[in-house]
Amino acid sequence: MDSDHSRRGVSFSMWLKSRVKTKLNSIRRRILVAVSAVYLLSATVSAIWIYAEISHEVDELFDAEMVQQAKTLLALLPSDGAGVARDITISRINAHSYEDKLSYRIETIDGKRIMQTEGSLDPSVIPFKEGFSVKTVDNELWHSFGLSSPARDYRILLLQQDEFRSEIRSDLTTDMVVPILTLLPLMLWLGWWTINRNFASFRRLAEALRLKRSDDYRPFIESNDTEEVSLVKGALNHYLTRIEQTFLREKQFSADAAHELRTPLASLKAQLQNQWQKASTQQQKEELELLLASTDRLVSLVESLLLLSKTELPPQHWRQVNAAAILRQVISDYYQRADSRRLVMDVDLPDTVLWRSEERYLTMLFSNLVDNAIKYAAPQSSIDVQCDGSLFTICNRIEKSHHVDAKRLTERFYRGGQLREEGAGLGLSIVSNLAKQLGLKLTLALEDDWFVAKVEADQALLEKPVISRKP
């Protein structure tokens, strides 16, 4: 039983340490804890210092009062000692709770008692001593002050219990320290608010960095930023510049390599075709046909790389074009290929949808989307092409066995699990580049067993949107 309790105690301790460690991973919480600790330490030191100062002042005050009382009592006594009563005890009147904490004793120079208050300590306990002294009696601290008359015939001893002084010290110290501690929650709230306000710049920077597109290498604007945020932005801008330069070098290398490979591949294909015509046996022709197919795939890859590099350049010839007519022409060009795969093209497009765009780029965008739909559509299914306002939608059913990550569709060379289909996995990367260059919104999604591609024009591209259908 005890071992179970000890194990639970250890588990709780480990959980608590883990929680504290997790919470303190935040710089804001660390700053707040540090500020709170400094504030509490300062308050503690202040309380100790205030208590010491108050103790000193209280002792000074009551010591001075004892001196004045002794002088007053001594002045009331006759100088020659005549007519002075002996052994008088002044009884309690119970007018105040502190009555027993203050007392005095008057005696002759030889120690004979003349007058004392009731409850006053016996001379054997606290004997007369000239001046101030402190003595502990029954675990209680007593302050005393002794004063003799100038003629040395009387002496007076005033007694004061320290509990009386200590209570005043504590009350005064509490009255001064409690407001300081009461302000702690307010200080914590103000500190947390101030820290969050100053860290808001970092949150805005983090949000801007999170929303930044993967191909956006524009530097962050440094304006009215704190020193710390400016340092972070400067480092990020330097990093973005380096990434952009690296990416540009890689793109240039791909474009250069593809350009240099065109001529050798064309020559290789021509040589293979000549050899195929000269082949004397069927086996030689089959082997050469396999080589020609591989060469065609290489040529297609090189052409796609060249096209991809071209689409990364902004279009030059912007004008008003009929997007619906361009898409209808693309569908017409691919109709025979779709029919060979027994696919039904279900097209519902208006006669006219006017966009401000670049005709060549828009044609390539629609061509790649239609080509992709035909290539990966399930056998004997349909391809739906529709237009709703400025939104074009191209949908095709895909086989359930295909595993496609929708988030990676625009990555270069990504083909999912559909390696049996022809292609290099660059079609949707080209579409993505074209959409960005034309200022179009491209959405690619998987809905159940349908692949849906949506292309929408921004309002800025619709100078005078004209959408018409035949009656």
Alpha carbon of 332 to those of 342, 365, 370, 435: distances in Å?
15, 15, 10, 22
CATH 3.30.70.890 fits 315-468, yes or no: no
Alpha carbon of 248 to those of 253, 255, 412: distances in Å?
8, 10, 15
Tens of pLDDT, residues 41-94: 888 888 888 888 888 888 898 889 889 988 888 888 776 655 555 678 888 787
For residues 154 and 165, what is the distance between their CA atoms, to the nearest angstrom? 28
Token code pair at residue 186: 């307010």
Could you identify the residue written with the tokens 């965008």? 365
Could you identify the residue written with the tokens 């029954």? 138
Could you identify the residue written with the tokens 């010491």? 52
Tens of pLDDT, residues 161-175: 888 788 888 888 888
For residues 140 and 59, what is the distance between their CA atoms, to the nearest angstrom? 16
Residue 470 has pLDDT above 70, yes or no: no
- Average model confidence (pLDDT) across the chain: 79
pLDDT class of 467 with cuts at 50, 70, 90? very low
Tens of pLDDT, residues 307-334: 666 666 677 788 888 999 999 999 998 8
For residues 146 and 106, what is the distance between their CA atoms, to the nearest angstrom? 10
> Angle at which helices 427-438 and 359-376 pack, to 10 degrees?
150
Alpha carbon of 399 to those of 203, 302, 316, 344, 428: distances in Å?
43, 29, 40, 16, 19
Could you tell me if 323 and 465 are in contact, meaning their C-beta atoms sit under 8 angstroms apart?
A: no
User: Hey, what amino acid is at 129?
Assistant: K
pLDDT of 113: 82
Residues of the chain with CATH 1.10.287.130: 227-307
pLDDT of 466: 44
User: Hey, what amino acid is at 251?
Assistant: K
Q: How many CB atoms lie within 10 A of CB 1?
A: 5
Residues of the chain with CATH 3.30.565.10: 315-468
- Choice between 227 and 411, residue whose per-residue pLDDT is larger: 227
CATH node for 227-307: 1.10.287.130
> Angle at which helices 27-76 and 162-211 pack, to 10 degrees?
160
pLDDT of 393: 92
Dihedral angle, C-alpha 338, 342, 344, 345, nearest 10 °:
0
> Can you tell me the mean pLDDT for 23-27?
68
User: Hey, what amino acid is at 45?
Assistant: V
Tens of pLDDT, residues 327-347: 999 999 888 888 888 888 888
pLDDT of 445: 84
Residue 305 has pLDDT above 80, yes or no: no
Tens of pLDDT, residues 203-259: 888 888 888 876 677 888 877 777 778 888 888 888 888 887 877 776 666 666 665
pLDDT class of 198 with cuts at 50, 70, 90? confident
